[in-house]
Amino acid sequence: LTIWASARLGAGEGAQQGAGAMAVISVCSTKGGVGKTTLVICLADAYARQGGSVAIIDADPNGHVASWRERAGEDCRVDVIADVTEKTVLDRISDAASRYSLVFVDLEGAASQAVTYAIAESDLVLIPSKVSGMDLQEVFRTYEVVQRAEKMLRRPIPARVALTQMSPLQSRVAQHARQEIQSASIPVLRTEVIQRAAYQSIHFTGATPAHPDGDPKALQEVAGALGELLEVLAVHQQAA
């Protein structure tokens, strides 16, 4: 883990040791089908299996996170807060932030008021995207929501794009997509998430790549993305 995570977990200390120092990561995209919910689940479970205190606020009406948690079993340490609406999302985030060291908010695939509320309460916004031109346009739309929240709050809200569901043959296309996003001054995670059966099976078996029987290549991707996000949070908190 990074300095940020170590400060929360401590050497050999329990998850509750870090609960007082929290961070909220909202994961959103104005386009569905980009692997948003799967990425949230993988990141949260990886953090929990490293000893972190973590919750997912399931603010997507589809409720896929809650369904996954039912399959995940007793060895899973991720708490899921379900039945979240536009009226309750702020209270749910505030409550979770006081009890967990890391809170992921899985948002619906639309530019709704609930999305704006959650972004305004976030320490970091993660925007998953495929590498197609249509998906990239939605990255820019989602980032505009982040920028509006920054202006309203008069504080910076870091954002990162994660390139997801990539075919191994798309490396050159991914390079062009990365350059286009970065040319708009939107940072992109170095880690790219390849389309693997390990991710597709999560919603049937409940087992993420961080599970003892998980796919090591997929786990390497998840761990890389999680490490980058924790680095961003560390820098952001030091600056604050």
If one counts every other C-beta atom within 10 angstroms of the C-beta of residue 184, the result is 11
Q: What is the reported pLDDT for 18?
A: 37
Q: What is the reported pLDDT for 13?
A: 37
Say how far apart CA 157 and CA 120 lie, in whole Å. 8
Q: What is the reported pLDDT for 104?
A: 98
Q: Are 40 and 193 in contact (CB under 8 A)?
A: no
Q: What is the reported pLDDT for 30?
A: 76
If one counts every other C-beta atom within 10 angstroms of the C-beta of residue 167, the result is 12
Show the 3-state SS of the chain.
CCHHHHHHHCCCCCHHHHCCCCEEEEECCCCCCCCHHHHHHHHHHHHHHCCCCEEEEEECCCCHHHHHHHHHCCCCCCEEECCCCCCCHHHHHHHHHCCCCEEEEEECCCCCHHHHHHHHCCCEEEEEECCCHHHHHHHHHHHHHHHHHHHHHCCCCCEEEEECCECHHHHHHHHHHHHHHHHCCCCECCCCCECCHHHHCHHHHCCCCCCCCCCHHHHHHHHHHHHHHHHHHHHHHHHC
Say how far apart CA 235 and CA 184 lie, in whole Å. 21
Say how far apart CA 20 and CA 9 lie, in whole Å. 11
Say how far apart CA 165 and CA 5 lie, in whole Å. 27
Q: What is the reported pLDDT for 118?
A: 92
Q: Which of 138, 133, 143 is nearest to 174 (CA)?
A: 133
| pLDDT beneath 70, residues of the chain | 1-21, 109-111
Q: Residues near 228 by Cβ (< 8 Å), separated by ≥ 6?
A: 160, 189, 190, 191
Say how far apart CA 108 and CA 65 lie, in whole Å. 12
Q: What is the reported pLDDT for 5?
A: 40
Question: pLDDT per residue over 139-177, tens digit each?
Answer: 999 999 999 999 999 999 999 999 998 887 777 888 989
